[in-house]
């Protein structure tokens, strides 16, 4: 299998694993199934519960606030350290002994949540921590017929493991104290700015690389046609161009195949399955990084000869000496990332391999005209919306977001993502963007620059600046929507596709180039050896 075929196969995997833009777990959880009513109208918010045992700082847990009761402080410095006591009886369904402002730890069950909170408040508790009987969190609501919901203390649900730890400390006569607060996520995190720059910069570099390669191929084509037209005609259709053009059939099949693969990931998501994805990602990352480094180093005179000298290698075929020289570095980087991918700085290696893979894919895979680009992005637009929003009706959760986060796999998401840790977010987590949200619109943006260069259009008169700007704005609007939804995952293509594709189609129609863009995808050159002289490159 040659390099091109391997990269194309990796592309298929990448496109099928195109999750939407997402971030850390939601702070505010909206729930239409549990309707609000007076006295029971709080949003479900995550709550930080740092603990101290015998005056020494211990573990920090995360709980969820109830529909009823007062809201919690958002600032850690305003939340007081309060001692925890165990309810007696533990379910807090009967009258408790009088307290002096402690936090009461109780078990779930045997009576309603509001009944427990009312009993704890009557005992002068300052708050109530309810231990769930599962490791997951549960949303505490008011029963339909309950009238006594005017509760003056906050109630927080803890997962079973956290509550059991606290209970064991109390049973061992340890002094346990906690803080209860729910910090707000910042309106904009610097991680989102860097992720935006990474996505836009990757498409920018890939577009110029693709356009430069296309122009070099066009100049070579014209040179051969000028020097020996008869010999050139015999060469037509012989050999490989090194590029893969997508057609409309492939664009439509993408939705079907990607949907099937996404469902398979959702159903089979496990540790071993993610390990397979890690291996595939490493193979693609090595191929991509190797291709990018060889192309970059070949621009320098010192490495040019090594890049043009080849040796035959079993299985892999003819490889340049430069490729053989950079391959060990690429393999070592991928292996090191795979082994240490759980450490805090592993995202750097993942982003390096991911960007290199995206650049290589956008260099090799191309759309021949705007028609194919429109079909591809339109299908991807519907695909993204369906699997982020509509899939909740069938699966009770967003299939794409679950796959992107790597739920049920004990892994921090699948590797086919660019990610940056949220730097000023008290809840931590990552801002992420799927490869498909860069590759799919990137194919159209790269096509616009290839057309501009082949048509000898100046930068301000062409389509690339408009397409690039439209993509940047679409991605920016995605982040705005992401923050307005308090970090809830958003389908990036919902915003990117209308901006990018709408701008390109409208501008092409207005300038009278729509027919050529839609069908041919490149300008007519009656005398190409005259129109594409190197001297005209200075005008670009």
What SS3 class is residue 358? helix
Q: What is the pLDDT of residue 20?
A: 46
Distance in angstroms (rounded) separating the CA atoms of residues 503 and 229: 40
- Let me know: does 120 contact 128? Beta carbons within 8 Å: yes
The dihedral built from the CA positions of residue 360, 361, 362 and 363, taken in this order, carries a sign that is positive
Q: Is 245 a catalytic residue?
A: no
- Let me know: does 443 contact 366? Beta carbons within 8 Å: yes
**Any residues with CB less than 8 A from the CB of 77 and at least 6 apart, and which?**
none
- Let me know: does 50 contact 129? Beta carbons within 8 Å: no
Distance in angstroms (rounded) separating the CA atoms of residues 266 and 372: 29
Q: What is the pLDDT of residue 142?
A: 83
- Let me know: does 21 contact 434? Beta carbons within 8 Å: yes
DSSP element (H, E) containing 123:
none
Q: What is the pLDDT of residue 99?
A: 87
Say what angle helices 346-364 and 271-297 make with each other, to 10 degrees. 60
DSSP 129: E
Tokens of 398: 């967003």
In sequence order, the β-bridge partners of residue 47 are 63
What is the pTM (predicted TM-score) of this model?
A: 0.81
Tokens of 291: 């291709």
Q: What is the pLDDT of residue 53?
A: 92
Peptide bond into 127 cis (omega under 30): no
Catalytic residue among 437, 461, 486, 539: 437
Catalytic residue among 189, 384, 425, 452: 384
Nearest to 180 by CA among 280, 66, 97: 66
Quickly count: other Cβ atoms within 10 Å of residue 152's Cβ. Answer: 10
The dihedral built from the CA positions of residue 101, 102, 103 and 104, taken in this order, carries a sign that is negative
Tokens of 427: 């809840």
In sequence order, the β-bridge partners of residue 107 are 131
Q: Is 150 a catalytic residue?
A: no
List the beta strands (DSSP E) in 159-225. 176-178
How buried is residue 263: exposed, middle or buried, by Cβ count under 10 Å (0-12/13-18/19+)?
Answer: middle
Distance in angstroms (rounded) separating the CA atoms of residues 132 and 517: 60
Q: What is the pLDDT of residue 408?
A: 60
Distance in angstroms (rounded) separating the CA atoms of residues 55 and 169: 13
Distance in angstroms (rounded) separating the CA atoms of residues 192 and 386: 25
- Let me know: does 327 contact 291? Beta carbons within 8 Å: no
- Let me know: does 46 contact 162? Beta carbons within 8 Å: no
Distance in angstroms (rounded) separating the CA atoms of residues 367 and 519: 11
Q: What is the pLDDT of residue 5?
A: 47
pLDDT by residue for the chain (540 residues), tens only, comes to 454 444 444 444 444 444 444 444 455 544 445 566 777 888 888 899 999 999 898 889 989 988 888 888 888 888 888 999 999 888 888 888 888 889 999 998 888 888 899 999 999 999 999 999 887 778 888 877 777 778 889 999 999 899 999 999 999 989 999 999 989 877 778 888 999 999 999 999 999 999 998 888 777 766 766 666 555 455 454 444 567 888 898 888 878 888 888 888 788 777 777 888 888 889 889 989 999 999 898 888 787 777 777 777 776 667 788 888 899 999 999 999 999 998 889 999 999 999 999 999 898 889 999 999 999 999 989 988 888 888 888 887 778 877 776 666 566 667 888 999 888 888 878 888 888 899 999 999 999 999 999 888 888 889 999 999 999 999 999 888 877 766 566 788 889 999 999 999 999 999 999 999 999 888 776 544 444 444 444 444
- φ, ψ (nearest 5 deg) of residue 61: -110, 165
- Let me know: does 84 contact 173? Beta carbons within 8 Å: no
- Let me know: does 399 contact 262? Beta carbons within 8 Å: yes
Residues counted in the chain: 540
Nearest to 167 by CA among 158, 155, 179: 158
Distance in angstroms (rounded) separating the CA atoms of residues 311 and 297: 18
Distance in angstroms (rounded) separating the CA atoms of residues 153 and 159: 20
Q: Nearest-5° angle of CA 168, CA 172, CA 174? A: 100
Nearest-Å Rg of the Cα atoms of the chain is: 29
**Any residues with CB less than 8 A from the CB of 78 and at least 6 apart, and which?**
181
Residue the block writes with tokens 């300038």? 511
DSSP 387: I
- Let me know: does 409 contact 273? Beta carbons within 8 Å: yes
DSSP 418-467: EEEE-SS-TT--EEEEETHHHHHHHHHHHHHHHHHHHTT--GGGSSHHHH
Distance in angstroms (rounded) separating the CA atoms of residues 42 and 486: 16
Distance in angstroms (rounded) separating the CA atoms of residues 36 and 33: 9
- Let me know: does 101 contact 82? Beta carbons within 8 Å: yes
Distance in angstroms (rounded) separating the CA atoms of residues 451 and 514: 12
Nearest to 105 by CA among 118, 114, 92: 92
């Amino acid at each position: 299998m040659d390099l091109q075929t391997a990269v194309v196969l990796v592309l298929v995997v990448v496109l099928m694993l195109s999750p939407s833009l997402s971030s850390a777990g939601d702070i505010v959880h909206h729930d239409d199934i549990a309707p609000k009513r007076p006295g029971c109208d709080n949003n479900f918010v995550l709550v930080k519960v740092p603990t101290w045992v015998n005056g020494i700082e211990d573990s920090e847990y995360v709980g969820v606030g109830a529909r009823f009761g007062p809201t919690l402080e958002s600032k850690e410095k305003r939340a007081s350290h309060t001692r925890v006591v165990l309810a007696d009886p533990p379910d807090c369904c009967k009258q408790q002994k009088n307290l002096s402002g402690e936090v009461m730890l109780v078990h779930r069950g045997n009576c309603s949540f509001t009944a427990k909170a009312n009993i704890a408040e009557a005992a002068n508790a300052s708050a109530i921590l309810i231990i769930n009987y599962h490791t997951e969190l549960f949303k505490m609501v008011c029963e339909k017929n309950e009238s006594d919901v005017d509760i003056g203390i906050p109630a927080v649900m803890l997962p079973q493991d956290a509550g059991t730890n606290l209970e064991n400390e109390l049973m061992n006569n340890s002094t346990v104290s906690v803080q209860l607060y729910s910090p707000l996520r910042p309106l904009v995190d610097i991680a989102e700015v860097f992720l935006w720059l990474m996505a836009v910069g990757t498409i920018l570099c890939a577009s110029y690389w693709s356009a430069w390669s296309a122009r070099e191929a066009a100049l070579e084509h014209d040179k051969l046609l000028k020097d020996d037209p008869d010999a050139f005609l015999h060469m037509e259709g012989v050999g490989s161009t090194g590029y893969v053009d997508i057609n409309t059939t492939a664009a439509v099949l993408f939705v079907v195949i990607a949907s099937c693969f996404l469902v398979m990931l959702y159903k089979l998501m496990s540790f071993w399955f993610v390990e397979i994805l890690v291996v595939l990602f490493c193979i693609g990352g090595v191929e991509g990084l190797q291709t990018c480094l060889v192309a970059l180093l070949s621009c320098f005179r010192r490495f040019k000869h090594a890049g043009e000298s080849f040796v035959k290698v079993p299985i892999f075929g003819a490889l340049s000496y430069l490729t053989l020289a950079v391959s060990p570095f690429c393999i070592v980087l991928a292996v090191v990332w795979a082994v240490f991918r759980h450490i805090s700085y592993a995202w750097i290696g993942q982003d390096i391999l991911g960007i290199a893979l995206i650049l290589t894919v956008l260099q090799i895979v191309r759309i021949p005209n705007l028609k194919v680009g429109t079909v591809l992005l339109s299908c991807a637009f519907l695909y993204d919306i369906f699997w982020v929003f509509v899939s909740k009706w069938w699966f009770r959760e967003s299939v794409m977001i679950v796959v992107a986060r790597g739920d049920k796999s004990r892994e921090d998401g699948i590797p086919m993502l660019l990610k940056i840790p949220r730097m000023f977010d008290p809840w931590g987590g990552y801002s992420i963007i799927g490869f498909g949200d860069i590759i799919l619109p990137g194919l159209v943006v790269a096509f616009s620059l290839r057309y501009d260069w082949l048509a000898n259009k100046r930068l301000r008169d062409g389509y690339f600046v408009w397409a690039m700007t439209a993509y940047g704005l679409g991605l920016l609007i995605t982040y705005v929507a992401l923050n307005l939804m308090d970090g809830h995952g958003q389908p990036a293509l919902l915003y990117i596709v209308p901006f990018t594709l709408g701008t390109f189609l409208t501008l092409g129609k207005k300038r009278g180039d729509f027919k050529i863009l839609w069908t041919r995808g490149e300008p007519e050159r009656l005398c190409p050896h005259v129109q594409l002289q190197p001297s005209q490159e200075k005008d670009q």
